[in-house]
Amino acid sequence: MAKLYFNFSAMNAGKSTLLLQASYNYQERGMQTLLFTAAIDDRTSVGEISSRIGLNAQAQIYDDNLDLFQTVQKQHKLEKLSAVFVDEAQFLSKQQVWQLARVADDLKIPVMCYGLRTDFQGKLFPGSEALLAIADILREVRTICWCGRKATMVARLDEQGKILEEGDQVVIGGEQTYISLCRSHWSKRQLSSQLGEEPPIQDLKCLPA
């Protein structure tokens, strides 16, 4: 049975890399995939999913006005789709998340969404909130805080490298604008060791769930 997946994490965990790799695995076996990314994300070029390690692929763009179910259904009639991938899924609307659920339920096509769970204020994005509520499978893509613990929160920095407390939920910029922290250091607004020590880096496989 096809399912709706939500792969979530803090910044710089390699979500886009995993998406592109998974899509490539389908295509390598002769199966067709359909990729979506947010129109608002123009960090590289609009309509391109790009990872920090140099992988990239063209994708259809979505904004709040696009009906994702109808778009997938139309493409599925032209060529049989084996999977749908959505990058920057935090920017989906609640309605669009339900449209993707229909893709899995009615069209029997698995849908894999990748995105952030919370913003820099620790609040859920609308798309992430809906996905956490109705996705069949939730998977955490792990990355680490400077202290070596699992990072679950995102902080936004100003031009001087100080943590911002207020601002718009969505600001598109380079990865240097954001930093991933564990909950403890996010709460303390601590960006590095106050003693100037280099913390031990733990293997992600050993991080607590």
Domain ranges for the chain: 4-141
Yes or no: domain 4-141 corresponds to CATH 2.60.120.10: no
The pLDDT value recorded for residue 43 is 57
The pLDDT score that the predictor gives to residue 206 is 40
With b meaning 16 or more CB within 10 Å and e meaning fewer, what string describes 176-189? ebbbbbbeebbeee
The predicted model scores a pTM of 0.77
Mean pLDDT for back-to-back runs of 10 residues, the chain (209 residues): 92 85 94 93 66 80 95 96 96 97 98 92 92 96 86 82 69 64 88 55 42
| Catalytic pick among 48, 88, 129, 175 | 88
- Rounded CA Rg of the chain: 18
pLDDT of residue 1: 82
* Known active-site residue 175: no
Q: CA 104, CA 107: separation in Å to the nearest integer?
A: 6
pLDDT of residue 193: 63
pLDDT on residue 53: 67
